[in-house]
Amino acid sequence: MESESPTETKKGKSKTPKKEKESILKQKSPAEFFAENKNIAGFDNPGKCLYTTVRELVENALDSAEAISELPVIEITIEEIVKSKFNSMIGLVDRERVDEELYDDYETAKAREKRLAKEARAQEIQAKNAAFGKKVKEHAVSKSSKGRGEASFYRVTCRDNGRGMPHDDIPNMFGRVLSGTKYGLKQTRGKFGLGAKMALIWSKMSTGLPIEISSSMRGQNYLSFCRLDIDIHRNIPHIHLHEKRDNKDKWHGAEIQVVIEGNWTTYRSKILHYMRQMAVITPYAQFLFKFVSDAPDKNVTIKFARRTDVMPPVPVETKHHPSSVDILLIKRLIAETSKQNLMQFLQHEFVNIGKPLAERLIGEMGPEFSPKMAVKSLTDQQIVRIHQLFRQAKFDDPSGDCLSPAGEYNLRLGIIKELHPDMVATYSGSAQVFEGHPFIVEAGVSVGGKDVKQGLNIFRFANRIPLLFEQGGDVVTRTALKRISWNNYKINQTQDKIGVFVSIVSTKIPFKGTGKEYIGDDISEIASAVKSAIQQCCIQLKSKIVKKMQAREQQERKRNLSKYIPDASNAVYNVLQEMAKSHASKKKRYEEGDADILQKVSDHLITKETLYEKLTQHVEKVDYEMALEYATQTGVREEPREDIYLQSLDGKGNFFDFHSPIFVFRLFL
């Protein structure tokens, strides 16, 4: 019998391994990358996608209005779209199920019987609890009642009165990822510059429907309308319709409409909380939020009215600080600069480098460097030398002139408008620096208020936008919980209703994690500035609380004294009567002044009623004197008040604003 060939298997197949295919080098476009990693931009799940879409559209609208110094008026609408309506929008005919067992939400007769029995027992327990007056919990909806494929769809529309967009730029502004006008070094809202582009990507992934944009700029007699989606693989816009239409109302701004998959039920509170916090930090804006559903009881309409017309200044673009740059950035600045020699480059492209310092730096770099050498001729080694010197040399800190904080005035107004606290204190710190980037911390602490829970209620803002997620690791949360001794400021951390508001603005917010939702606790400069700002607010509040406690104690003393006036007047009058009898019978003689009083008692010129009236007047006098002293220290806030009628102004005249932490004085010319 012949032996089997070693190159053959028992089945006669060859054992020789197949030759692997050669690996092919592939590239991904930015749009494709963010589509596959959408969680980086805050699109983690349908509910978070709905929240992030609202957030991006609102922040873009605010930026657009503020860029032309227009008081923002923003309307945001979320319209629920039922499955049948969505199918008709995409041209899909509804189809009845044929094979029920094929679907995820299918349940067998036995499982259904078991579920119904469980629900019946739960209802029976609820009925018993209700009969005994116990709190009844709502019965949880069974998981099987909604399958995984039963998605919810929403049309999100955001309309503003901002700058608008040039007609020809609209396709690239929405259909090309990582293209925009906000990539300079300045304080900006947003995280990646994705804005509505990420909402468009999510729309394409979840519904396949395009985004619709209407826009018009000031003075234009036409309105630009564009319907487009994005070519994910090529990162270019796919335009369905792009045309000019009549602008009869002379409206300027933008209206963006996108249909996406989402979850309103689970993220309703987050979206409303975001809108409320945005109204706190931007009291000069007017927001109208609507949720529209086929079920009228689900509809929501909330208007956040404007409280002031004083807007923070528009953030300005600044230059890089030498201590904050890396080698790649230096190379990019060299490639983009219009300056010819090294001396001009150092002075023009960086802050805090004047001519004398530039000469000293070039001298320190070595003999191969000279002020007149062509900056474009620098070698890689020479660029590394410049970078090393930038990291080691001492430079003045950058100023905070390029930053645009909300301001104590606006922060205070926002807190009062939305929370209605019993008392509030605000503080705005001076500009500080971390890693060459300036930052400013503003804080507000309130006590009491409407719809405020007991304990610490922490509100965080970065570049004037609310941060709602990942609160536990944030520098503001950790500072408020662990580094502030609230009892030292007469504030009860567990029982009082405390609002802690901290706003940080900077040319670079040091976010942690991919979600960009919290600021780490590891930057000592920011942690120290946050603690100091909160403490300054607490010191102000302590003074108010102590005075309020003194006023309360004074009122208590007045009540106690007033309670004993009848008994005291009776007792004193009885003693005076006995003394008058002794004086009249000459058993005991009194001096002239006392004798006169006793004679008046005998003649009934001094009675119980007289004593009662005098004691009451004395208590009132002491109360008035203490109240007057309290009022002069704190400022009169209650009666008396007078009505003041001011002539209305059209607001078109020239004026100057004089800012104070608690008011703005406007002088019209």
Please give the pLDDT value at position 227. Answer: 92
More confident residue, 648 or 448: 448
More confident residue, 592 or 492: 492
Instruction: Name the residue among 203, 247, 252 with its Cα closest to residue 227.
Output: 203
524-549: b (≥16 Cβ within 10 Å) or e = eebbebbbebbbbbbebbeebbeebe
* CA 25 – CA 57 distance, rounded (Å): 37
Please give the pLDDT value at position 7. Answer: 47
Q: Is the pLDDT of residue 527 over 70?
A: yes
Beta strand ranges found along 23-126 (DSSP E): 73-81
More confident residue, 642 or 421: 421
**At CB < 8 A and 24+ separation, what contacts does 298-307 make?**
298/80, 300/268, 300/272, 302/272, 302/275, 304/275, 304/276, 304/278, 304/279, 304/418, 305/417, 306/71, 307/283, 307/413, 307/414, 307/416, 307/417
Q: Are 29 and 234 in contact (CB under 8 A)?
A: yes
* CA 461 – CA 317 distance, rounded (Å): 21
Instruction: Name the residue among 243, 229, 235 with its Cα closest to residue 167.
Output: 243
| CATH topology assigned to domain 327-392 | Helicase, Ruva Protein; domain 3 (1.10.8)
Return the minimum-mean-pLDDT range out of 19-28, 327-336, 436-445, 535-544: 19-28
Q: What is the dihedral of CA 498, 499, 505, 508, to 10 degrees?
A: 70
**Kind plus residue range of the DSSP H or E element containing 250:** none
Q: Is the pLDDT of residue 604 over 80?
A: no
Please give the pLDDT value at position 144. Answer: 43
Instruction: Name the residue among 187, 64, 66, 662 with its Cα closest to residue 411.
Output: 662
Contacts with 54 (C-beta within 8 Å, 6 or more apart), sequence order: 76, 78, 156, 158, 271, 274
Q: What tokens appear for 263 in the block?
A: 């979850």
- Provide the mean pLDDT of the chain: 81
Q: Is the dihedral of CA 350, 354, 355, 357 positive or negative?
A: negative
Please give the pLDDT value at position 652. Answer: 58
Please give the pLDDT value at position 300. Answer: 93
Binding residues: 60, 160, 181-182, 190-197, 516
Strand partners, 441: 504
Contacts with 202 (C-beta within 8 Å, 6 or more apart), sequence order: 38, 43, 49, 53, 260, 261
Instruction: Name the residue among 68, 126, 553 with its Cα closest to residue 314.
Output: 68
C-alpha distances (whole Å) from 275 to each of 77, 282, 441, 442 are: 12, 10, 22, 20
**Kind plus residue range of the DSSP H or E element containing 12:** none
* CA 303 – CA 653 distance, rounded (Å): 29
**At CB < 8 A and 24+ separation, what contacts does 628-632 make?**
630/547, 630/550, 630/551, 630/554
Binding residues for ATP: 60, 160, 181-182, 190-197, 516
Mean pLDDT of 269-293: 92
Return the minimum-mean-pLDDT range out of 288-292, 579-583, 608-612: 579-583
More confident residue, 630 or 265: 265
Mean pLDDT of 369-397: 89
CATH number, domain 421-539: 3.30.230.10
Contacts with 481 (C-beta within 8 Å, 6 or more apart), sequence order: 456
Residue with tokens 């005098």: 614
Q: Are 216 and 164 in contact (CB under 8 A)?
A: yes
CATH number, domain 30-88+150-304: 3.30.565.10
Amino acid at 527: A
Return the minimum-mean-pLDDT range out of 4-18, 221-235, 261-275, 362-376: 4-18
Return the minimum-mean-pLDDT range out of 225-239, 389-403, 633-647: 633-647
pLDDT band at 560 (very low <50, low <70, confident <90, very high): confident
Q: What percent of the chain has pLDDT over 90?
A: 21
C-alpha distances (whole Å) from 290 to each of 76, 77, 275, 309, 350 are: 6, 5, 11, 24, 46
Angle, alpha carbons 206-173-43 (nearest 5°): 35
More confident residue, 413 or 193: 413
pLDDT band at 301 (very low <50, low <70, confident <90, very high): very high
Question: Could you state, in order of their start, the residue ranges of all structural domains in the chain?
Answer: 30-88+150-304, 327-392, 421-539, 547-634
Return the minimum-mean-pLDDT range out of 232-236, 353-357, 508-512, 633-637: 633-637
Please give the pLDDT value at position 639. Answer: 46
pLDDT band at 598 (very low <50, low <70, confident <90, very high): confident
Mean pLDDT of 262-276: 91
Q: Is the pLDDT of residue 142 over 70?
A: no
| pLDDT tens per residue, range 209-218 | 899 999 999 8
pLDDT band at 637 (very low <50, low <70, confident <90, very high): very low
Please give the pLDDT value at position 566. Answer: 83
Q: Is the pLDDT of residue 627 over 80?
A: no
Please give the pLDDT value at position 289. Answer: 95
Please give the pLDDT value at position 534. Answer: 94
Q: What tokens appear for 244 in the block?
A: 């000019």
* CA 535 – CA 500 distance, rounded (Å): 11
Instruction: Name the residue among 558, 533, 539 with its Cα closest to residue 630.
Output: 558
Contacts with 269 (C-beta within 8 Å, 6 or more apart), sequence order: none
Please give the pLDDT value at position 638. Answer: 46
